[in-house]
Homo-oligomer: A and B are copies of this chain.
Amino acid sequence: MIVAMRQDATPEQIQRVMDRICEAGLRPERMPGGERTAVGIVSAIPAPLRASLTSQLESLPGVDHVTQVSRAYKLASREFHPADTVVQVGEVAIAGPAVVLMAGPCAVESWEQMREAAQAVRAAGGRVLRGGAYKPRTSPYAFQGLEEEGLRILQAVGREVGLATVTEVVDPHEVELVARYADILQLGARNMQNYPLLVAAGKSGRPVLLKRGMSASIDEWLLAAEYVMSAGESRVLLCERGVHPLDRTYTRNTLDLSCLPVLKEITHLPVIVDPSHATGNARLVPAMCRAAVAAGADGLLVEVHPRPHQALCDGQQSLPTESLAGLVAELRRVAEAVGRSL
C-alpha cells in the first residue's frame, strides 16, 4: 500500500501517517519522490485490515490518495522507488551511464595469479576484481578456497592495482569477516534462499551482489533481494547467471537475458550478467557479453584466468586474460550502439 501525500503536506502530517501505520503493527517507509512525498507500507497487510486501514489513512489530513500495490516485494519494486538505483562503490558507479566490467578468476589461488589477472582486468578497462575465497563446491572433496588468506590477497591486490573487489560469502557468521576485506559481498545462486545469510548480508554495510537461484522465478529473486533490503541494505545488485537448462550438452545453464527488460520495468535495482557461469564455456562468453550489453545490462561479471587450463576451479569457463582487451573493444562498440559507454 502506498499513501501519496498532497504536495503541500506538512512534515507533521507525514509523521502522523507514519505513526498510524506503526500503530497498526506495520512498517512504514518514506519513499523518494521529486515533487511530493509518499509513504509505503513495507509489511504484508493482513487482508481483514486492508479496507479499514485504507479508509483511515485516506481520511488523515495531507493525504492525497492511497494505492494498493500489486507485488509481494516492496522495497525492491519500482512502485515504491520509481528512479533507478545507482550503486556507488568507491569511484565506480553501477547503473550509471557506463556498463561496469567485473572480472577475475573463479577462485583466488595465489598472489601471482591474482596480480596477473588484476593487471589485465585493469588494463582492459575493468573496474571490479572478482575472486572466490570461500568456494561452495558440489563435491565435499573439491577445492574449497583459501578462505581468509584468499580475502587478504584479493583486498591487497585490488588496492595495489586500483580495482574494487567482490567475493562470495557462504556463512552468515562469516559476513562480518568478509565485509572487512571486500567492497561488495556476493551471495551465490545456491544461497539465494539462505535467509539467515541474506539478512546478515543486509546488515553488513556492504553492497550485495545477489545471484539468481538455479530455478528461481523473477519474483522469488526479488523477494530474496527484499530480505537483504528489509534488513537494511538498499544497494543490491541483481546478477543473472543462467537458470536450470533443458540439457547440458553445450551449456551448463541457460542464460535468461529476457530478465533484463523485465527487471528494468519492475525494479529499480541494477542488473549484472554473469555469462561465465551461465554458459560454462569460455568460447560462448564473448557473444553472451555482447548480447547482455545490448539487452541493457548494467554490468558484466566475467571469469578470467592467466592460465585457464591450470585453474583450480572452472577453468573451462574462464577466458585467458590476454583475450580481455579484445573483448572489451567489442563490447565498447555495442555499449555505444545502445547509448552507453564501457
**Chain A residues within CB distance 8 Å of chain B:** 42-44, 72-74, 136-142, 170-173, 190-191, 193-197, 213-220, 223, 226-227, 230-231, 243-244, 246-251, 254-262, 265-266, 278-279, 283-284, 286-288, 290-296, 330, 333-334, 336-338
The complex places the Cα of A262 from the Cα of B275 at a distance, in Å, of: 14
A172: B residues at CB distance < 8 A: 171-173
Assembly CA distance A172 to B337 (angstroms): 44
**B195 and A136: CB pair below 8 A?**
yes
Contacts of A140 in B (CB 8 A): 195, 223, 226-227, 230-231
For the complex formed by this chain, how many copies does it contain in all?
4
Chain B residues whose C-beta falls within 8 Å of the C-beta of A334 in the assembled complex: 294, 334, 337-338
Inter-chain CA distance A195–B195, complex, in Å, is 14
Chain B residues with CB under 8 Å of A226's CB are: 139-141
Contact B279 A258 (CB under 8 A): yes
- Separation of A336 and B141 alpha carbons in the complex (Å): 41
**Which residues of the other chain, B, contact A193 by a CB distance below 8 angstroms?**
136, 138, 190-191
A283 to chain B: which residues have CB within 8 Å? 261, 265
Identify which of B74, B227, B250, B261 contacts A218 (C-beta below 8 A). Answer: B250
Q: Which of A140, A170, A288, A293 has the most CB of B within 10 A?
A: A140
Q: When A194-B191, A293-B294 are in contact, do A42 and B141 touch as well, CB less than 8 Å?
A: yes
From B138, B191, B215, B249, A244 is in contact (CB under 8 Å) with B215
Check A247–B246 contact: CB distance below 8 A.
no
* Cβ of A101 to closest chain B Cβ, rounded Å: 16
Q: Which of B42, B195, B278, B291 contacts A295 (CB 8 A)?
A: B291
| CB atoms of A44 and B295 under 8 A apart | no
In the complex, A139 Cα to B261 Cα: how many Å?
A: 23
* Inter-chain contact B337/A44, CB cutoff 8 Å: no
Determine the distance from Cα of A249 to Cα of B250 in the docked complex, in whole angstroms: 16
| Contacting pair A288 B194 (CB below 8 A) | no
> Bound state CA distance, A196 and B294, in angstroms?
38
Q: B170, B220, B295, B296: which contacts A196 (Cβ < 8 A)? A: B170
Say which residue of B230, B291, B336 sits within 8 Å of A294 (CB atoms).
Answer: B291
The CA of A248 and the CA of B196, in the complex, are separated in Å by 28
How far apart are A141's CB and chain B's nearest CB, in angstroms?
4
A258 close to B44 (CB less than 8 A):
no
Which chain B residue lies CB-closest to A263?
B250
Q: Shortest beta-carbon distance, A226 to chain B, in Å? A: 5
Which residues of chain B come closer than 8 Å to A246, judged between CB atoms?
Answer: 215-217, 243-244, 256
Seed contacts A139-B223, A291-B291, A336-B337; 10 additional CB < 8 Å A-B pairs? A140-B230, A215-B244, A217-B247, A218-B249, A258-B278, A294-B334, A330-B337, A330-B338, A333-B338, A334-B337
